[in-house]
């Protein structure tokens, strides 16, 4: 096991657990999972339509997001054999993860087209504007990539659940149900990996995880023009706040360590302070 990395066996166990919980028989596809002919954006409020457009842009940025994991956990000759074995085990998850997230992007785009919210050609051009922009996570420690994804996946799951509760179109509600279930499984994998890091490295990963929280931004937050204004707008439709996921991270840290230490206590305290105060 190289410093900073989990043993390949730990990664393999986490991947096996994820794949066992998500067998191919439970997979769904965009073409047949929904009654697209019944989709009707006219049943949505203006705010709900705006929310669908916003999350479609976020999900469609998948190629740039996935490339971060490919670049930081390469499966080629640029890494020594021990790191390659680790990364190869992880790749079994990331390639499946990418396929599922790409399905989310396609489902949301298909909903926009089928419901009359957007024309196909115009939507492609709109998505390309943001999709071409670079995205990076300038992290130094492997655990940070999993901690980031843990927060991002849980935040997205929570928002899809909230939006589903108010969405006026039953077809959209079904799409959001599928997406939120997938995001919950993705979160579970990231939680498993972060837990393993905490159990192996303990205090040594408290600082790197804290750094993730200190600088956290959702994908496109720093590149999409008007992102924060749009995010606040859709929060009026259904609560949208990535710090809603922090309580879940606190529980993971708490459960992962047998004995609380000063660095772990400080990490938990910092996460709690980072949560948005009730308005």
Report yes or no on 24 lying in a domain. Answer: no
Q: CATH number of the domain at 230, please.
A: 1.10.620.20
- Residue 19 located in a structural domain: no
The answer to whether 176 and 238 have CB atoms below 8 angstroms apart is no
Query: What is the per-residue pLDDT across 164-209, written as a single tens digit (0 to 9) for each?
Result: 999 999 999 999 999 999 999 999 999 999 999 999 999 999 999 9
The count of domains in the chain is 1
Q: Is the pLDDT assigned to residue 277 strictly greater than 60?
A: no
Of the chain, the percentage scoring pLDDT greater than 90 comes to 77
Residue 219 falls inside a structural domain: yes
Contact 241, 276 (CB under 8 A): yes
CB 70 within 8 Å of CB 123: no
Q: Is 121 a member of any domain? A: yes
pLDDT at 139: 95
pLDDT at 235 over 80: no
The residue segments making up the domain with residue 164 are: 36-274
Determine, yes or no, domain membership for 196: yes
What is this structure's pTM? Answer: 0.93
Residue 63 belongs to some domain of the structure: yes
In a domain, 183, yes or no: yes
In a domain, 14, yes or no: no
| Pair 201, 5: CB distance under 8 Å | no
């Amino acid at each position: 096991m190289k410093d900073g990395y989990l043993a390949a066996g730990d990664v393999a166990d986490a991947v096996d657990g994820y794949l066992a919980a998500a067998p191919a028989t439970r997979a769904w596809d965009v073409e047949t999972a929904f009654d697209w002919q019944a989709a009707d954006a006219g049943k949505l409020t203006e705010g709900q339509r705006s929310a669908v457009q916003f999350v479609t842009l976020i999900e469609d940025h998948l190629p740039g997001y996935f490339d971060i994991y490919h670049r930081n956990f390469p499966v080629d000759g640029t890494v020594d054999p021990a790191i390659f074995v680790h990364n190869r085990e992880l790749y079994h998850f990331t390639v499946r993860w990418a396929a599922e997230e790409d399905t989310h992007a396609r489902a949301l785009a298909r909903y926009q087209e089928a419901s009359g919210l957007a024309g196909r050609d115009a939507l492609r051009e709109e998505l390309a504007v943001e999709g071409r922009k670079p995205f990076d996570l300038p992290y130094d420690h492997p655990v940070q990539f999993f901690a980031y994804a843990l927060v991002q996946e849980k935040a997205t799951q929570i928002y899809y659940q909230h939006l589903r509760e108010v969405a006026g179109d039953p077809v959209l509600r079904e799409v959001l149900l599928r997406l939120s279930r997938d995001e919950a499984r993705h979160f579970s994998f990231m939680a498993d990996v972060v837990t393993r890091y905490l159990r192996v490295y303990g205090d040594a990963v408290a600082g790197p995880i804290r750094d993730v929280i200190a600088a956290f931004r959702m994908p496109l937050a720093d590149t999409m023009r008007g992102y924060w204004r749009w995010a606040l707008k859709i929060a009026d439709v259904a609560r949208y706040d990535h710090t809603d996921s922090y309580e879940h991270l606190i529980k993971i840290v708490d459960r992962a360590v047998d004995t609380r230490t000063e660095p772990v206590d400080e990490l938990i305290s910092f996460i709690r302070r980072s949560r948005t105060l009730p308005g």
